[in-house]
Amino acid sequence: MSLKTVYQTLEDRDSDLDKLESYGPYPCSWDNSWLGEGYYFWDTFLNNAHWWGREIRKYPTGYIICRAICDFNDTDCFDLVGNTEHMLLFKDTYEFLKNNGMATSTTKVKRIIKYLKDDVQLFNYDAIRVYGIRSKNYKSRFSFTLNFEVKNPAYFDITPTIQICFYKKNSLNLRNYKIVYPDEYISGYLV
């Protein structure tokens, strides 16, 4: 088990900041959420939370970033970033569904998770962790990449867009939910 810092980006709705922190985190309400219903956070890299607020959501009223910590482990988190056994289970499940006419090349990640959760009940995790490759443009001002070779397009993404979806508010002992951006919203900030 390791302590992990995570960040949640929220639209700035001119909320009561004390309540925002005490009632947080907040669930994703999008129909097209990638990993199902839950509380979405960016793993480790604060710049990804800024990228989401500025370049993807482009919130007209601005955005707030809250930081939390959790007790990360791949016993309670289906880790499709660092656990190759979890990756293999996911791949094998997709291939099984495809071979039995229940999945195609257009089947989404969310469908495989739903199958593992609901249909065969092999998914007994409190959270899921995934790297959304090519979700952030490597030319974004929030990207930090280095090429391996001069004439080869392959690069190392030093701040990958890794998300953790916590299925419950307290999954992985998620706690210490505090505003970290914008500065003027931080408790104790002096002008």
State the pLDDT at residue 135.
85
Task: Please identify every stretch of the chain with a pLDDT value under 70, giving residue numbers as ranges.
Answer: 188-191
Exposure on the CB side of residue 125, measured as CA atoms within 13 A:
25
Measure CA 93 to chain center. 22
CATH of the domain at 110: 3.90.228
Does residue 152 lie within any of the structural domains?
yes
DSSP for 133-161, written as a single string: TTSS-TTSTT--EEESSTT---EEESS--
Structural domain range at position 40: 2-185
**Side-chain half-sphere exposure of 155, counting CA atoms within 13 A:** 16
**Structure tokens that stand for 174 in this block:** 């998620």
Residue 191 within any structural domain of the chain: no
Alpha carbons 121 and 17: distance in angstroms, whole number: 39
Residue 130 lies in a domain: yes
Q: For residue 190, tell me if it sits in a domain.
A: no
Could you tell me the pTM of the whole model?
A: 0.92
What's the total number of domains in the chain?
A: 1
pLDDT of residue 188: 67
Q: What is the pLDDT of residue 157?
A: 87
Which DSSP helix (H) or strand (E) runs through 164? strand 162-166
> What DSSP designation does 172 have?
G
